[in-house]
Chain A
Amino acid sequence: MLRTIINKEILENITSPKFVFTFLLCTILILLAVYAGVGNYRSELKEYHSALALNEKNLESQTSWGLIAGMGMKITKPPQVLGCMISGIQDAVGRNATVNIAFDPSLVDSRYDSNPVFAIFGPLDLALIVKIVLSLFAILFTYDAIVGEKERGTLKLSLANRVPRDQVILGKAIGSFVSLLVPLVIPFLIGLIMLNLFPDVHLSGDDWARIGLIFLFFLLYLFVFFTLGLFVSARTNRSSSSLFILLFVWVVFIFVVPKGAVVLSKYMRPVPSVHEINSEKDAYLQQIQNEAIEGRRTFFQENPQEDTPEWRQKAQEWGAAFQQELTAKIDAKNAELEEAYQAKRRAQQLLALNLSRISPSSALTFGTQSLSKTGIQEHERFLNAIKSYKPIFTKFINGKLTENIGTGGQPPKPDLDELPRMDFKPMSLNDSFMLALPDLVVMALMIIVLFAGTFVSFLRYDIR
């Protein structure tokens, strides 16, 4: 009996004009998104390799460590291959940072900076298609699944037979969901094949596992809207009312909750602006610079300059220690300000994320971005890696500069093999999954609650 109902649902759906329309539109959009994503990835990869080569060339052309200290070390963020599918925040955040001994590094030169036209239209990626287009189709497939059958009289005719209601609702749910999956699965598989055909796109075993999990997220997300559609359809007496309610909830979930959560968190957990923090840092730097001038003056007053190796030795040692002390003070103050700022920012961000999680759209965004390593966490990890690299770089450069103080003559050409490089390892699959897990759980809970609601509502549904 269940199989009969499932087969009927599938047949009814796939022979409907809405299915043909959905399938064609999804195929076009998904393939277009993959193609555009691969195009972006290839150009990002090219830019990344060019930036690395240029940085090396610049370093090699420097004749002293002093010049390298001034120029700083250019760090470029490597593009993520899964950005072909989930662009995440990659386009909006900076890709390059300069690490030098003076300033705190930050990532600049986002894709939107280089070409603001991208910001106007935003990226077209799989997450966007599933989030907006397919969720809408899930609603269009289900809004009249029950109430529509009631209006047509087919529900009454079906239930005039020896058919338990639980089998009817189960059969409808399975059959309709399978029909809805076709417009996602087939273009998605074609997209993956297409992805493999590009020579620049190399997917590792880890990437394939991530793609599998991303697909699981897509399925769960669609199932949330699908069960929502069934639930509302089982609670209304007119399909027009069902569609109206569902479209309202869809707008709330897709647009109102995510944007509202950000606005609300700004009021609930205010954070000072970056300019305010930078002003504080600049003021402190100015204070330290005055201290440096004063310190040197005192040293030279107490230790008048002599042209002896002993004096030079003493000056060199004092200079190194003084420089270290000042740098340590700047670093400590900057770290203190930065830590306070980051703590406030994190609290605001966490509040916004948690508030927005009541929308499956946000859960999908966070989950897929964590899994594709294109989300906020991966960006922060990269930024933290740069910040951790800064003291290593500073210490090394200061050491090199100190070696040369007072030696006179031409400083030796830097040996770049000695220069410590930044070591950044992308997030492991396990860590990404653990990050995505709360979103997975949120969606699974929504599905359970909505399906249980649908089930109970249908058992009591007045089919007259």
Chain B
Amino acid sequence: MLEAKDLTKRYEDGLLALDHVNFEVREGEIYCMLGANGAGKTTTINLFFNFIDPTEGQALVNGIDASKDPLEAKGNIAFVSENVMLYHNFTARQNIDYFAKLGGKTDLQKDDYYAVMRKVGLQDKAFEAKLKTFSKGMRQKLGIAIAIIKDAPNIILDEPTSGLDPKAAAEFMDILTELKKQGKAILMSTHDIFRAKTIADRVAIMKEGRIVMERTREEFLKDDLEKIYLNYMQGIAA
């Protein structure tokens, strides 16, 4: 479970990036954070991985405070970034092997990697191909394969469908739905309202470092999420 408790971040230049943010992502749940650039989505993610320290509050990963015990917290989260670049001179298998070992999976074999890569929709011929020959969609799939192989109870994704073509994005969503069924707590930041509406169990809209709206699936399916989002962005509360 991921939990933000009064999470606040003020940068050295005085910018208040996060202002007492509270939310939780439960097991088997997909929580989507929507918001414009600079709303605080990536800052929230960075706090869960302790890439930065909070000014106030806590980012809890399965109850572990990420700023107090970052390594233990990181052991319980997998990460998929916006633009998975990985190592270009490595093959897909070499990349997944390296990150699996960093994630503590030291006893996996080639077949285990192949199985995960198949699961995320990569073709067999891509397994031993160098990353420099991969399209962005293929790289994102490999990114999610890396997250899956870590087998962490929580997954955080930062704009994972950004730049993907509709087919690749749809395939990506299927994988997330599968992970959700496995009981993973999934926190995803995105600009893509359409995708959020498709898979999210709960949606939050962030603006100027605060969560200005949170709706459950039942609630946002009844309403027009896009309209609500635009209203919040224009400063007209729904």
Contact = CB atoms under 8 A, between A and B. Distances in A.
Interface string B88-113: 01100010001101111010000000
B79 A464 contact: no
A162 B71 CA distance: 5
Given A154-B87, A161-B103, A164-B71, A464 B52 contact: yes
A445 B215 CA distance: 60
Contacts, number: 73
B184 interface: no
Interface in B32-91: 42, 46, 49, 51-52, 71-72, 74-75, 77-79, 81-87, 89-90
Contacts of A5: 102
A11 to B, nearest CB: 7
How extensive is the interface on chain B, given as a class? 20 to 34
Given A12-B90, A161-B150, A4 B101 contact: yes
A4 B87 contact: no
B117 interface: no
Interface string B134-155: 0000000001001000100000
A41 to B, nearest CB: 41
A153 B84 contact: yes
A275 to B, nearest CB: 61
A50 interface: no
B89 A157 contact: no
A463 interface: yes
Given A12-B89, A153-B84, A160 B79 contact: yes
Contacts of B83: 153
Contacts of A11: 90, 94
B102 A156 contact: no
Given A1-B102, A160-B79, A162-B74, A463 B87 contact: no
A57 interface: no
Nearest to A7: B98
B90 A160 contact: no
A462 B50 CA distance: 11
A74 interface: no
Interface string A1-39: 100110010011001100000000000000000000000
Nearest to B88: A152
Nearest to A158: B102
A153 B88 CA distance: 12
Best-surrounded residue of B77, B78, B94, B101 (most CB of chain A within 10 A): B101
A158 to B, nearest CB: 6
Contacts of B99: 157-158, 161
Contacts of A12: 87, 89-90
Contacts of A189: none
A162 B103 contact: yes
A156 B72 contact: no
B120 to A, nearest CB: 16
Contacts of B78: 160
Interface in A146-184: 152-154, 156-164
A8 B81 contact: no
Contacts of B102: 1, 4-5, 158, 161-163
B98 A160 contact: no
Contact of A16 (B42, B89, B101, B143): B89
A162 B51 contact: no
A3 to B, nearest CB: 9
A375 to B, nearest CB: 42
Nearest to B73: A162
A162 B106 CA distance: 13
Interface in B176-214: none
Interface of B: 42, 46, 49, 51-52, 71-72, 74-75, 77-79, 81-87, 89-90, 94, 98-99, 101-104, 106, 143, 146, 150
10 contacts: A12-B87, A152-B86, A153-B84, A154-B87, A158-B99, A160-B49, A161-B99, A162-B71, A162-B72, A162-B104
